[in-house]
Structure 1
Amino acid sequence: MLSVLATEPIFGGRKIAMSQPKTALLGVGLMGRPMALNLARGSVPLTVWNRSAVKCAGLENQGITVANSAPEAIADAEVVISMVADGAITQTLVDDCRTALRADAVWIDIPIKHSNSA
């Protein structure tokens, strides 16, 4: 279960410690950048990557790691979130990242445009 807001959930009347999963966000455009900032505010360990590196400007100042490539971004991630323009780009990311993806990682794709190719 991914919990961004609850840092000390209560179960059976007791607080239990939860760690935030290492997360990678691929695509920090109009939707991805605010999501990255919200995740960072929620103390989620976050690495981001974008095809246009300029869109990552300033994120390091928010405690976010900026990767040089998508495979580098997802290498240690338990959760991968992709938010890119279309299904063809998503498929390219999946193909490029296949060998870097952890076997137990969860990949969440949030499509920007609907496409039959995703």
Structure 2
Amino acid sequence: MKVFKLVSGILSIVFSLVVLFQSVAAGLGESLGGASTSDGALGFFVAILMLAGGIVSIAVRGMKKNGGNIAIVVIYLLSALFAFTGGSYFKDLSVWGTFCLIIAVLAIIDIFKKKKHA
């Protein structure tokens, strides 16, 4: 699972930049179009959480204990929650929420794999 954490960390960092640019564009579109949603702000929070999750994922990839995996699960589930609550104006937010949810589920699987081998 070390490779998974490295790859998911790198992808999260790269995707967080994409989400950040999309959320700025969505926020600008919301303000210019007079929309009453806050999808741009939610996208910003998703981008920050994805960046934090990517950094944590890379930093804890060699740990033997489950503390790092629990942190990854919490960060990505929170990010997915933010992503799924928005998305009325910023439609791609649900795609990023699904990405975060997949990483959280894989980290949960890694927690249970480590418990089985211990």
Whether TM-score is above 0.5 comes out as no
Q: Which has the higher strand share?
A: 1
TM-score between the two structures when normalised by the length of structure 1: 0.27
Q: Which has the higher helix share?
A: 2
> Which structure exhibits the higher relative contact order, with contacts defined as CA atoms closer than 8 Å and separated by 6 or more residues?
2
